[in-house]
Amino acid sequence: MQHESINTVDHLRRFCDEIAAQSVIAFDTEFVSEDTYRPKLCLIQVAAGDHLAIIDPIAFPETEPFWELLTEPGRTVIAHAAREESRFCYRFTGKPIAGLFDTQLAAGFVGMEYPASLATLVQRLVNKTLPKGETRTDWGRRPLSKDQILYALSDVHDLVEMYDQLASMVDKLQRRAWLDEETENFQQKVIDGETRENWRRVSGSSGLKPRQLETVRRLWLWREERARQLDRLPRRVLRDDLMVELARRGTTNVQKMRNIRGMERRGLIDQYDEIAASIQAALDTPEEDLPRRPRGTRRVVSPMLSQFLSTAIACISRQHKLAPPIVGNADDVRELLGYELDRRQHDPTPALLKGWRGEIVGKTFRRLLHGEVAIRIADVRETQPLEFIEP
């Protein structure tokens, strides 16, 4: 497969100038994430017009010119399951990808399997079989073999043809606005994950008291910084269960900390003073500035109705030619029922009542709860045999 190999930043700048006029750019990345603080970008594959190229971030890490190109509006940028690609773009530029068309997401909006692998969609849309031999390859090692390069290029070679088919189907169903809305939402979630303090996701912290929660927060902030310095996964710096136990004990006494099983690890021995300082900062935090426990999850409003409506989502999806997982799940249904039947002050608007989901699910469920529509068995032979009708 003829391609261009880009191994210097000057070459990359020239390449970006050459493809800047293209209305469609397809790309993919290869990365490793098992041992580093953030996934390590190892390869970028690009298809744009007659250009097919591999950019090697291992040879030169200054790939910003390419990511800046992707943030410029006025073109379509095609990628598959582009969560990490969006994350890389934000880290290098501080901006989302402009004009992103995610083939995995688009497939869900036309009733195909979601989330579908690239290989599945290539087989279905292009009638090709992608090579599988390098699925577990270490993309950080050099030199790359011919098989590795072929495997990587195969991931972008057919993206434009897939885009042409999927975009046509999306437009025929008049779903482009829905797809754009969902793409914007998922890129915003990626940005939020990069910019917000995610300490509340520490496992086992949900039942802690306010000052203990502040201790978890301070330890989380210390752990993030330490992990960044060491380029290591945060939980390999200090496990969640140890953070929670330190918060429960609330002591800055080094000997007492060392008595906690797991704290005797060699990598922590020279960090006791910093850990103690983080705990002390939590102990010194004024009462009014302490975080509060999230309100307890409300009881499930009408469990039978919740279960029934969870099943009904699949029926709505079938009627609208949407993949059910892209529409919503049982948690979304419980959130909607709580909002409609047991609303509390400051409750956020449920996902099923916002945007395109509100149009096809929220309105129908509201009408159903008010007795304005009914459900009947439309075809017992169907996997999802129910449909909504006017009574």
Q: Are residues 72 and 181 in the same domain?
A: yes
Question: Stretch 60-89: mean pLDDT, rounded?
Answer: 97
High-pLDDT (> 90) share of the chain, %:
73
CA torsion, ordered 205, 206, 208, 209, to nearest 10 deg: 130
Torsion sign (Cα): 324, 85, 141, 121 = positive
Q: Are residues 124 and 269 in the same domain?
A: no
Alpha carbon distance 359, 353 (integer Å): 8
8 A C-beta contact, residue 56 and residue 5: yes
| pLDDT at residue 58 in the model | 96
Structural domain harbouring 277? 199-289
Total tally of structural domains belonging to the chain: 3
Q: Are residues 248 and 108 in the same domain?
A: no
What one-character DSSP code corresponds to residue 116? P
| pLDDT at residue 391 in the model | 75
Last residue of a domain, one of 289, 321, 353: 289
Question: Residue 307: pLDDT above 70?
Answer: yes
Alpha carbon distance 388, 376 (integer Å): 7
H/E run at residue 55: strand 51-55
| pLDDT at residue 47 in the model | 98
Torsion sign (Cα): 273, 276, 281, 284 = negative
Question: Residue 298: pLDDT above 60?
Answer: no
Closest to 30 in 3D by CA, of 20, 48, 45, 10:
45
Q: Are residues 282 and 378 in the same domain?
A: no
Question: Residue 72: pLDDT above 70?
Answer: yes
| pLDDT at residue 378 in the model | 78
Which letter, b or e, does each residue of 8-33 get, where b requires 16 or more Cβ atoms within 10 Å of its Cβ? ebebbbebbeebeebebbbbbbbbee
CA torsion, ordered 99, 105, 111, 112, to nearest 10 deg: 120
| pLDDT at residue 38 in the model | 93
Alpha carbon distance 228, 195 (integer Å): 14
pLDDT tens track for 105-138: 999 999 999 999 999 999 999 999 998 777 778 9
Q: Are residues 123 and 18 in the same domain?
A: yes
pLDDT tens track for 266-291: 788 889 999 999 999 999 999 999 99
Question: Residue 176: pLDDT above 70?
Answer: yes
Residue 354 resides in a domain: yes
Residue 366, domain CATH: 1.10.150.80
| pLDDT at residue 299 in the model | 61
Q: Are residues 112 and 233 in the same domain?
A: no
Residue 295 resides in a domain: no
Alpha carbon distance 380, 250 (integer Å): 60
Alpha carbon distance 201, 24 (integer Å): 38
**Helix spans in 201-271 (H):** 210-230, 234-237, 240-249, 254-258, 266-269
Last residue of a domain, one of 195, 229, 255: 195
Alpha carbon distance 187, 90 (integer Å): 9
8 A C-beta contact, residue 250 and residue 261: no
Residue 69 resides in a domain: yes
Amino acid at the residue 262: G
CB atoms within 10 A of CB 281: 17
Which letter, b or e, does each residue of 49-88 get, where b requires 16 or more Cβ atoms within 10 Å of its Cβ? eeebbbbbbeeeeebebbbebbbeeebbbbbbbbebbbbb
Residue 297 resides in a domain: no
**Mean pLDDT value across the chain:** 92
Question: CA distances (Å), 104 to each of 82, 95, 159, 361, in order?
Answer: 8, 22, 11, 22
Strands 76-79 and 100-102: parallel
**Helix, coil or strand: residue 115:** coil
8 A C-beta contact, residue 48 and residue 62: no
Q: Are residues 165 and 313 in the same domain?
A: no
Confidence class of residue 387 from pLDDT cuts 50, 70 and 90?
Answer: confident
